[in-house]
Copies of this chain bind each other. A is one copy, B any other.
Amino acid sequence: MAKDRKIDMVILGLLFHENLTGYDIKKRIDQSISFFWKGSFGSIYPSLAAMEKNGLVIKTKDESNTTKREKILYEITDEGRRFLQEWLEDSKAENSLRYETLLKLFFGGATTINVSVANIEAFENDITKDLEFLKFCKSNLEKVLDERDHVFFYLTVSFGVETYEAYLRWSKEAKQLLLNFEK
């Protein structure tokens, strides 16, 4: 059985719902899960090729495509579904943060308070922008929660909203503590 490269799982998870091209998969990743998982063409296409070899996905004919532009729709197989299922049922998960902002703050002793405050403010700006978008998604999903799949999308988005709001609360407190300390 193939090693469980995480990108494989992302692709299988997406293909579980519908047949997609590599290009579609990239778009889905960017639009739906990019705030907690990323993926690039350079990993998507090789993953598809490898999984096809291993029988987890198959190429399908795209009846709707009448143009000359080549377009390869992938479909998940029963074995692919089994593989996805196995991964889902295994409750161990690797969760990791890589927060360069925190790294810079941790080493704040090597610079001025103003630099650290500026770093926190840059972080606040990024988060504020993303939070707005997440809230927009959340309110849209709230209207369609009766459909089973949407519940899962809603939960990941609400994870984002809750944590980003926590980030912003922390940012305010952190700046205050730094500026008070300076006095």
Binding site for B on A (CB under 8 A): 6, 9-10, 13, 16-17, 32-33, 35-38, 81, 84-85, 87-89, 91-111, 115-116, 118-119, 121-123, 126, 148-149, 151-156, 158-159, 162-163, 165-167, 169-170, 173-174, 177-178, 181
Q: Could you tell me if A36 and B93 are in contact, using CB atoms closer than 8 angstroms?
A: no
Give the residues in chain B near A116, CB-CB below 8 Å: 152
Name A127's closest neighbour in chain B (CB-CB).
Answer: B95
Select one of B107, B126, B170, B177 contacting A162, CB under 8 A.
B170
Give the residues in chain B near A105, CB-CB below 8 Å: 152, 155-156, 159
Contacts A36-B98, A96-B98, A109-B152 supplied; 9 other A-B pairs, CB < 8 Å:
A13-B110, A16-B109, A37-B97, A88-B110, A88-B115, A93-B123, A151-B181, A159-B174, A163-B167
Complex: how many Å from CA A172 to CA B35? 21
Name A125's closest neighbour in chain B (CB-CB).
Answer: B91
Q: A42 CB to closest chain B CB, in angstroms?
A: 17
Name A14's closest neighbour in chain B (CB-CB).
Answer: B107
Name A88's closest neighbour in chain B (CB-CB).
Answer: B111
Q: A5 CB to closest chain B CB, in angstroms?
A: 12
Name A85's closest neighbour in chain B (CB-CB).
Answer: B111
